Amino acid sequence: MIKAYDDEYFMRQALEEAYQALEEDEIPVGAVVVSKDRIIGRGHNQTERLNDVTAHAEMLAITAAANYLGGKYLRDCTLYVTLEPCNMCAGALFWSQISKVVYAAADEKRGFLKGGSKLHPKNQLVGGILRDESSSLLKEFFKSKR
């Protein structure tokens, strides 16, 4: 049986956002927030365009989803993001009370898993979904900048 909406499906949507960032010459990271198999918030990295270090994909997607819901908590929602969240974004996800976080590529250097910030202990965490595609996208971007 085919499950129409699975983690890979939504991660592909997050990757669409990452490609959008790439088009805007931003570090290509994208995120979506999903509630009941429906995307209720999207975001891609816009730190350059907005001149704002806080404009990470996750932050924008969290804000968009909360706007959609009309409430600040994202209980029973899942965030899909193409790169392991940083300390800032993990902190925001903690505050949001989101249920699940799925990321594609690990971020050995700036990811929260080594960085020290924490998700809520009840938060489900899944890594590695479409990791290779996300990693390649980031590597190509940084290579082009050298």
Examine residue 121 and tell whether it contacts its own copies (CB under 8 A). no
From 24, 52, 76, 132, residue interacting with its own copies (rule: CB under 8 A): 52
HEC profile of 48-74: CCCCCCCCCHHHHHHHHHHHHHCCCCC
The only residue of 8, 95, 132, 139 in contact with its own copies, by rule CB under 8 A? 95
Catalytic site includes residue 133: no
Both tokens of 135, joined, read 């990693």
Examine residue 6 and tell whether it contacts its own copies (CB under 8 A): no
Q: Which two tokens stand for residue 60?
A: 């924008």
Per CB under 8 A, the list member of 9, 91, 106, 127 interacting with its own copies is: 91
Task: Count CB atoms within 10 A of the CB of residue 123.
Answer: 17
> Quick one: 9 or 141, whose CB is closer to its own copies?
141
Region 126-145 residues binding its own copies, contact defined as CB under 8 A: none
CA distance 62 to 6: 20
Q: Which of 88, 82, 80, 89 shows the shortest CA–CA distance to 124? A: 80
Q: Are 33 and 40 in contact (CB under 8 A)?
A: yes
* Binding-site size, its own copies (CB under 8 A): 30
The correct pick among 9, 12, 13, 88 for binding its own copies (CB under 8 A) is 88
Q: Which residues are catalytic?
A: 58
Residues at the interface with its own copies (CB under 8 A): 47-48, 51-54, 59, 62-63, 66-67, 69-73, 86-92, 94-96, 115-118
